Amino acid sequence: MGPYAKEELLACVIARQLGGARHAAIGASSPIPATAAFLHQHKDAAFRVSLQQRREANPLTEGSRELFDLAGQGRVDVFFLGGAQIDGDASINLVQAEGRRFPGSFGSAFMYPIVPRVFLFREEHSARVLVKKVDFVSARGHPAALVTGKALFSWQRDRRRFRLESVHPGSSAEEVRANTGFDYDVSPSLGVTPEPTQEETELLRTKVAKQIEKDYPDFARRVWG
């Protein structure tokens, strides 16, 4: 790993996938996707970010109802989803796993199929999280990609199957395979995920850090001091 935090790498991985997008809506408790969105915004000033976590001047004045309305009208084209479990069919489980209950599906079953580019994100990459079949299907759709703490996967819509595109620095293809509970294809051009550039690192540690600190102070303090 280079002289950067893992969170910075993951934010860069996500931000690089956002080219051509117009508007990203980000749910609560999603500091890394939020960081990625703001990073991309500094490269594309027309890119809009609506952050549910925002404590002041929240653009979603009516909360989730307004978010769902915007998505239904086609005015949100990027959204992020995670889950206690994610399986090889791109289904997510937000309800129950390993005997534990979680907050629930909320609007995921609506947002997943209706937003054009949904990114699945889970920092933990383990066979406990990335399973062959989820215990409960909270939502299912066609994701733009799956980003984990170890790798980047694309989604093959025609095959309904993930494909490993790159492995993050510090991990290996063998480690990814051993810690993934579902089967997947491998890109012929599989390589190492590019590290953050100097420009990306500078933006993250200055302008983006100030934006994130307002709504995720603990996260900002941990990553950037």
Residues of the chain with CATH 3.40.1080.10: 82-104+120-181
CA-CA-CA-CA torsion for 38, 171, 181, 152, nearest 10 degrees? 30
Stated as kind and residue range, the H or E segment containing 25 is strand 23-26
Share of the chain above pLDDT 90, in %: 80
Q: Is 78:119 a contact under the CB 8 Å cutoff?
A: yes
pLDDT digit string (tens) for 63-106?
A: 677 788 888 899 999 999 999 999 999 999 998 777 776 666 66
Strand order in the sheet with 48-51: 48-51, 23-26, 78-81, 117-122, 145-148, 151-156, 161-167, 185-192
Amino acid identity of residue 73, one-letter, is Q
Q: Is 114:124 a contact under the CB 8 Å cutoff?
A: no
**Range with the lowest mean pLDDT among 90-94, 106-110, 194-198, 207-211?**
106-110
CATH architecture assignment, domain 82-104+120-181: 3-Layer(aba) Sandwich (3.40)
**Range with the lowest mean pLDDT among 36-50, 94-108, 121-135?**
94-108
**Confidence at 118, pLDDT banded by 50, 70, 90:** very high
